[in-house]
Structure 1
Amino acid sequence: MQRLKLFLPLIAFVVVVLFFYIMVSRIGDGDYNPQELPSALVNKSFPAFSLSKLEEPSIQIEQKDLVGNIALINVWATWCPSCHVEHGYLNYLATEKGITIYGVNYKDKASLAQQWLAEKGNPYRFNIFDPQGRLGLDMGVTGAPETYVIDHRGFVRMRFQGPIDETIWQEKFQPMMDQLRAEQKAPGGA
């Protein structure tokens, strides 16, 4: 038994090295994509919440306010460099393609976020102000930007981590949006 205790650190080291070897080989093989992190919310209702509207703090937004439209829910913040990169494309999606986008202003200051929207344009139907990150925690947010696709019933159908651009839209989002529109139009889809 005493000899076994001597080998425990070596055994633990070998296990850790094997774990990292497997992860690195998956990344090298292209099997691992950090932007395709699974979400426990997929095919489940968007989490319940009651938070103020960024644009009008006296108004409370709740889960039921997201129901009725196939939409994107975009988690963003003024402190997020990738959100700066993505913002112009979100404006394009909202104005040119007519995509409904709800914002979750995540762990930010309201005054900075309002200034950002005034200067850069506001692609969001409304923004949920989440200064403490509680909604983000319930959503499983690991950083910003993150974008979720919800169906007209308010169920999360997809999660994407990172900035959206035309390539990402065409490869990931457009097929999902087309699928959801077809499901909504199908008998029993309403």
Structure 2
Amino acid sequence: MKANSPWVFLPLVGFVLLAVLLASGLGRDPQELPSALVGKPVPSFSLSSLLTEETYTEDSLKGRWQLLNVWATWCPTCHVEHPYLLELAARGVAIAGLNYKDELPAARQYLANLGNPFTHVIVDADGQLGLDLGVYGAPETFLINPAGEIVLRHAGDLNARVWEEKFLPLLPAQAGQGKGGQ
């Protein structure tokens, strides 16, 4: 290979491209998963309730500001966030639960033992609604406006810091204070 051959620079070019690629990822929050559904309606669905004989549809998520929390009993982080969901519910925040790919008796027992923060619990046994929402895994929480549109998606546990930094700034004052505003 000649010293003035263009191939001599190939390792340098590769290194520069790799450095640029890695640098572009610095400063990004790994918990931040963009959602193509932000600003769009919740996808159509018709699924049963975990606790009643009802069937829920996307219309069940209209009419008020609310959270849609994706959870499962097999999810260790869901156990960690559960007390905070109970706290939000006690403050009047409306939270719909999406029980994701779970064993139904275990899910019922979980809520019976730990308390139920949910206004209603939708069963997504095969994970199709989760797939339509772009769920990577549990827990994930979506902020839904009264029109049934997704305003925010958060992957990971919902806690006081996340609530204050990400959710509250997007909510009208009455909804943000936990009144489940209209």
Residue pair 2:50, 2:104 contacting (<8 A) in 1 also = yes
Task: For 1:178 and 1:35, locate their aligned partners in 2 and report how far apart those are by CA, in whole Å.
Answer: 25
In structure 2, distance between residues paired with 1:25 and 1:179: 39
Distance 1:172 1:180, change over 3 A: farther
- Which residue matches 1:151? 145
Structure 1 residue 118 displacement after superposition: 0.4
> C-alpha offsets along residues 19-56 of structure 1, whole Å, 9 cap, x if unaligned?
5x44532343x1x1122211011000001000000112
Q: Aligned partners of 1:155 and 1:75: how far apart in 2?
A: 16
Q: Does 1:170 align with 2:168?
A: no
Residues 138-184 of structure 1: CA deviation (Å, up to 9, x unaligned): 000001100000100100000000001111111111111237959xx
Secondary structure in structure 1 of the residue aligned to 2:59 = helix
Residue 22 to residue 54, structure 1, CA distance change in 2 (3 Å): farther
How large is the RMSD of aligned CA atoms in angstroms? 2.4
How far does the alpha carbon of each residue in 1:44-71 deviate from its partner, in whole angstroms, 9 at most, with x for none? 0001000000112x32111111110100
Structure 1: gaps spanning 5 or more residues: 1-6, 183-189
* 2:34 maps to 1:38: yes
**Per the alignment, do residues 179 and 24 of structure 1 end up closer, same or farther by CA in structure 2, a change over 3 Å counting?**
farther
State yes or no: 1:77 paired with 2:72: yes
4+ residue stretches of structure 1 with deviation over 4 A?
179-182
Q: Name the CA distance, whole Å, in 1 between partners of 2:152 and 2:35.
A: 8
Matched pairs, number: 168
Tell me the equivalent position of 2:46.
Answer: 50
Aligned to 1:25: 23
Structure-to-structure mapping, 1:102-181, within 5 angstroms: 102-178=96-172
Cα distance change on mapping 1:81 and 1:45 into 2, 3 Å: same
- Distance in 2 separating the partners of 1:52 and 1:18: 50
User: Residue 18 of structure 1: CA displacement?
Assistant: 3.5
User: Comparing both structures, which one devotes a greater share of its residues to helix?
Assistant: 1
Q: Distance in 1 between matches of 2:152 and 2:163?
A: 13
**Distance (Å, rounded) in 2 between the aligned partners of 1:86 and 1:150:** 19
Identity %: 46
Question: TM-score, with normalisation over the residues of structure 2?
Answer: 0.84
Distance 1:23-1:180 versus aligned 2 partners, 3 A rule: farther
Matched position secondary structure for 1:104: strand
- What do residues 57-95 of structure 1 show as CA deviations (whole Å, max 9, x unaligned)? x32111111110100000000011110100000000001
Q: Tell me the distance in 1 between the aligned counterparts of 2:115 and 2:130.
A: 23
- Change in Cα spacing, 1:49 to 1:89, as seen in structure 2 (3 Å) is same
CA contact (8 A) 2:89 2:95 kept: yes
